[in-house]
Amino acid sequence: MSENLKTKSLHYLTIKEAIVFIDNHFLDQPSLEEIALHVNLSKFHFSRIFKEYVGVSPMKFLQAITLEYAKKQLEASKSLLESTYESGLSSVSRLHELFVNFTGVTPAQYKYMGKDMEITYGYGFSPFGKTFLGLTQKGICYMEFCDENEENIFKNFLKHWTNAHLIQDDVKIEKKLREIFIDKKPISLLVKGTNFQINVWKALLNIPQGRVTTYHEIAKSIDNPKATRAVASAIGSNHIAYLIPCHRVIGQTGAMRGYRWGIERKRIVLAYESIEEK
């Protein structure tokens, strides 16, 4: 197990608790000391954890999860994303394709390959908490962040990849998580969904790290500008957290919308990425 990832995972839980506190007491403008007290740490230890997690002070980190910051990011991303989609194979998308190899199958196609598929699965740690991962020869097929819902996650995994031969190997999964989050190695993904869902998930891969966009912009990017609600539904059906970056899609106003793994986690992932990018 990577101690670095385990430490980051534990820090994520502390940061999440702090952000929930800030959300609930936003109008009171809590001080650093008050936030640290809520998570049972000294302000010095609390500040150190933040710096170990993202490399900046708590106040700078908190600035990166505000609505105002999200709006600025949305505006800054708009022109970049428009040029990306218009050019097709822009420098942005080419760079991402070098990092992510994406294979999509429809439910009908999976009927013919599912019975012969072997999936290694297990649990490990990521910077965003305990993580469940499913891995095939063609690539990662499932990744979810766990809170206290491991049983439900596993049931959904079984339902999504029926008939596959399953092998639990936590050591192998921990190694793969390290490759993703520490070594930053190129990865392959295998997704199952309708053609529409697959097109939406592919579009998400074109959103660069540290940037955000809206559901409407994603709909436009797949030449279906009236399908905003369908796009939102497809994004909500994504079973590969972080790597298919549905967390980079926010509301038209800059507000955070529903996220399978929790709004607090979405905000932390966005802040983590924006600061890491700098």
Of 244, 246, 250, 271, the active-site residue reads 246
Helix, strand, coil shares, percent, the chain, to 5: 55, 15, 25
For residue 70, give the 3-state DSSP assignment.
helix
Which residues is 188 bridged to in the sheet?
101
Tell me the longest C-alpha to C-alpha distance in the chain. Answer: 59
DSSP state of 155: H
Distances (CA, A) of 256 to 76, 200, 248: 17, 19, 10
For the sheet containing 129-136, what is the strand order? Answer: 100-105, 187-192, 139-145, 129-136, 118-126, 165-168
The DSSP code sequence of 238-274 is: --BTTTS-GGGEE-TTS-----TT-HHHHHHHHHHHH
Is 246 catalytic? The answer is yes
Q: Which residues are catalytic?
A: 246
